[in-house]
Amino acid sequence: MMIYSFKIRKSNYITLFLTILFFITTGCVHGQLGVNNSNQYRNGMVVCAYPDAAQVGLDILKKGGNAVDAAVAVQFALTVTHPQAGNIGGGGFMVFRSKSGKTNTLDFREKGPAGASANMYLDSAGNVIPDMSLYTHQASGVPGSVDGMVEAHRKYGKLKWADLVQPAIELARNGFKITKHLASDLNRTKAQFTKLNPGKTYLIKDGDWNEGDVLVQEDLAKTFELIRDKGREGFYDGIVADEIVAEMKSGKGLMTKEDLKNYHSVWRNAITGNYKGYKIITMPPPSSGGIALLQLLQSVEKYPLKRWGYNQDSTVRLVVEAERRVYADRSKYLGDPDFFKVPVDSLLKPAYTASRMSNFSWDAATPSTSIQPGTFVSYESDQTTHYSIVDRDGNAVSITTTLNDSFGSKIFVKGAGFLLNNEMDDFSSKPGVPNMYGLIGGKANSIQPGKRMLSSMTPTIVEKDGKLFMVVGTPGGSTIITSVFQTILNVIEFNQSMQHAVTSKRFHSQWLPDEVTVEKDAIDSATVTKLQGKGYKITTHGTIGRVDAILKTQWGYYEGGADPRGDDTKLGW
């Protein structure tokens, strides 16, 4: 009898072992383990570029705020703690998905001032004047971030506006301990701050900044108090508006009080596509990122990437060839839809994408000089920051926001304490002449008063089987699109966890210049040799992108991916 009993128990152990093994192995797909750990949470998650800002967002979620409430608070907190890109003097894009699956996008991209003109950065000979669109008062578009946050809160927010702005006030007034990364960036930019801001001492100290130093920004705190108490009017009218205009006049800038009063963000319908059963929800123009991302996914969908493997020879070649063609299209067809009829439907037709890839050959690289923007019938920042947020109900927000270059134009608004953007460089100063990221533009992205400049920002949300699957985005100028693209592939095709997908080394190609930039050790030496043998020019790049993303696992947990390339932080509860 005892022997019989032992056999039953042994059988049960074997069955239990096999059951556990099954759940572990199936749960490992996309890193979706069936047990909670320090990376997985039930009630919400914030992933953004600075730890103090992430904590602000998490605190808002814990107080009963939704994802949009947390996003507003994080946006303002990043202005204080991540001045390289966090801002009230810039703009950006938001992709929103409600817990019920309804989607919306908010365009709070900057606009050209009323005094802007197509040839404003050209000399008498018609040549582009170096740095005029980057480090002068004429480089700034009309900021959209404050209006964007007001509109987002008005439509979707739950908590009081003042409660969302207050954490930024406290961070600015009481100060916060800076990280090694921020100290290094402040020291590196000190000479430019000093040169471009006579009589101002914002972000400048005697000697060098060091990790752990406390950064206090009293004037910025006062600006936030006006925004807290007066909302939109606290920035686009009154004292702050007067300070902006005075700053413009001091450097022959173009922005006026009328430009500020007339600025309004715009709600736009998301553009969507499908990739192997996953629904991609992303940003429409004037972001080029959404269309480019969907084109890239269409271009590679029929190929066996999973079998080829992460960053292997065939995978790299296919991705590079797709990127070259998509960036060529970007140069001609994408711009502000309020000023230019962007052929969205034509660009996203599968037949068109297939035709673009039809001259791709495995025998040799396609020279970028032989690639031109496609044709069809019936023609119709480096320094940016991204944050991804999901709340306990499943509402999700993906926001990318920017000043364009690191610390924008490097010019502060005297008295207000915040940095101005240099987004005017994202316009095409002259057809065929690259901007600071090497991107080529044409008539679709020409400078016009009141027009929004083209952007590469690609905030994106992914669904699987009608349910939230991923929230993703990144800074990185022209590399934003390819970084988001490769992160999505890392999860879907290569079964990487969210953190692994974000950490994985990346590569980038953008049509012109005719090269493939690669992070160190992203591609093994043997594969590099094969690629060079086929005619690909490989150049090494320090880092590419800083992706912040959230995955909803099959077990219902939120799993974050915070990019180790910066101070990016993931917090959940």
The one-letter amino acid at 367: P
Among 103, 105, 353, 384, the one annotated catalytic: 384
Is residue 168 within 8 Å of 76, Cβ to Cβ? yes
Residues 422 and 410: their CA atoms lie apart, in Å, by 9
Strands 460-464 and 278-282: antiparallel
Known catalytic residue at 384: yes
Q: Helix (H, G, I), strand (E, B), or coil: what is residue 377?
A: coil
Residues 268 and 94: their CA atoms lie apart, in Å, by 10
Is residue 53 within 8 Å of 556, Cβ to Cβ? no
Instruction: Specify which residues 280 forms β-bridges with.
Output: 273, 462
DSSP run (H or E) holding 567: none
**Joined tokens for residue 386:** 């991204």
Peptide bond before residue 286 is cis, with ω within 30 degrees of 0: yes
Residues 506 and 546: their CA atoms lie apart, in Å, by 11
> Tokens 């480096």 label which residue?
382
Is residue 151 within 8 Å of 108, Cβ to Cβ? yes
Residues 167, 172, 177, CA angle at the centre, nearest 5°?
A: 100
Q: Helix (H, G, I), strand (E, B), or coil: what is residue 536?
A: coil
- List residues with catalytic annotation: 384
